[in-house]
Amino acid sequence: MTSEQTHVIVGASLAGAKAAETLRSEGFDGRIVLIGAERERPYERPPLSKDYLRGEAGREKVYVHDERFYEEQDIDLRLGRTATRLDTSNRELELDDGERLRYDRLLLTTGAEPRRLDIPGAGLDGVLYLRSVGDSDALRDRLNHGGAVVVVGGGWIGAEVAASARQRGLDVTVIEAASVPLERVLGAELGAFYRDVHTGNGVRMLLRTGVEAFEGETAVQRVRTSDGRELDCDLVVVGVGVQPRIQLAAQTGLAVDNGILVDERLQTSARGVFAAGDVANARHPFYGESIRVEHWANALNQAPAAARNMLGRATAYERLPYFFSDQYDVGMEYSGFARSWDRVVFRGDPASREFIAFWLIQDRVVAGMNVNVWEVNADVQALIRERVAVDDRRLADPDIPLGEVAQLEKGGVA
């Protein structure tokens, strides 16, 4: 080992593991310590609501690296250890067993945790959340018993759990406050598409309502909704969003606001301290504002960028947000970032379940989602990134390749 430096990563999940891998692949030969509160070596979460939850994929599928990787790469992986205190003036990190680690560079990949409901009966047995592989195991055990499940929240986790539970033959009800599921990200039209996908598969959707209470002796037996219904159930899964784990950063005075604030190079307000993944609210060069992205691809790609910056190789992180979801036989990829838009243009008929949807502001595409249509993602991203003016009719015309919509518009031929 030629470098005397120690780089410490807090959070041994996808982002943390990819950062450790990148430090080595970029030639850092000093000490790397990767600290994880969970006892499991770093794993990926998307299968936990999909094939792993349904028992169709085994544990090996979820791990980021094989078991030998950390030893082979001389990465000091500390599992079941929580970082409890950070002292940025002395560049020191304290763990829950009292150990103090000096660092030269520190990366915070502490992720996010489910928002908890604080309503009567919230502590009853059978009211479950889904974030960890242990949560997924526990939920799978319950699904194996069949019965009726109430899913609270029609976001991505709720929608995927509802789909998996239906696929396992359970009776499923989703309760969602908005008028359609997934409304916040996708809006009314595409939310309605997913509502229909679910109801077509036998899910009961209770929309524009909330949950007042969970009832039962020791285990949940009933859900009381805010519009006065009582739903008998054997199980509840709550998926009402996540919150970034900022405690360690906030306690030491790092700038936080909806996550740990970082610049384009993923550097926090303290020198030598970086953040990436679900916890980072990062300045995005393309959007000119800070965005926090709670998706797999962001953890996968942003953390390596942070690692390069830890090594002094100035790397701005400017990938467009991207995520995917699989529900029943409907797979999709979404690219871009849109809080508002004027309209949605479809290429293909949503009823066929093979189409691309584009969200537009004036004549610019700000986001795109391909549903059961593949290998178009690069073209969708190019339309967004190039900010070319597009014509709705050409965008909707499946006979015009997506790449040519952009080129022709740039040349002004259309």
Ligand X SMILES: Cc1cc2nc3c(=O)[nH]c(=O)nc-3n(C[C@H](O)[C@H](O)[C@H](O)COP(=O)(O)OP(=O)(O)OC[C@H]3O[C@@H](n4cnc5c(N)ncnc54)[C@H](O)[C@@H]3O)c2cc1C
> What residues line the site for ligand X (CB under 6 A)?
10-16, 35-38, 45-46, 48-49, 82-83, 109-112, 130-131, 157, 245, 248, 277-278, 294-297, 299, 323-325
Identify which of residues 95 and 400 has a Cβ nearer to ligand X in the complex.
Answer: 95
Least gap, CB of 300 to ligand X (angstroms): 8
Least gap, CB of 334 to ligand X (angstroms): 9
Identify which of residues 112 and 282 has a Cβ nearer to ligand X in the complex.
Answer: 112
Identify which of residues 15 and 383 has a Cβ nearer to ligand X in the complex.
Answer: 15
**CA distance readout (Å), 5 to 98, 103, 106:** 22, 8, 11
In 202-234, which positions are buried (b, 16+ CB within 10 angstroms) versus exposed (e)?
ebebbbeebbbbbbbeeebbbbbbeeeeebebb
Identify which of residues 151 and 299 has a Cβ nearer to ligand X in the complex.
Answer: 299
Q: Determine the Cα–Cα distance for residues 247 and 58; give it in Å rounded to an integer.
A: 33
Least gap, CB of 78 to ligand X (angstroms): 8
Residue nearest to ligand X (CB): 111
Identify which of residues 242 and 376 has a Cβ nearer to ligand X in the complex.
Answer: 242
Identify which of residues 216 and 272 has a Cβ nearer to ligand X in the complex.
Answer: 272
Q: Which helix (H) or strand (E) segment is 76 a member of?
A: strand 75-79
- Asked if 177 contacts 210 with a C-beta cutoff of 8 angstroms, the reply is yes
* Numbers of helices and strands, H then E, in the chain: 10, 26
The DSSP annotation for 213-230 comes to EEE-SSB--EEEETTS-E
Identify which of residues 65 and 245 has a Cβ nearer to ligand X in the complex.
Answer: 245
Least gap, CB of 295 to ligand X (angstroms): 3
Least gap, CB of 375 to ligand X (angstroms): 18
Residue 109's closest CA among 274, 313, 324?
A: 274
Q: Which helix (H) or strand (E) segment is 250 a member of?
A: helix 247-251
**CA distance readout (Å), 136 to 46, 125, 146, 164:** 11, 16, 15, 11
Residue 210's closest CA among 172, 176, 162?
A: 176
Least gap, CB of 132 to ligand X (angstroms): 7
Least gap, CB of 279 to ligand X (angstroms): 6
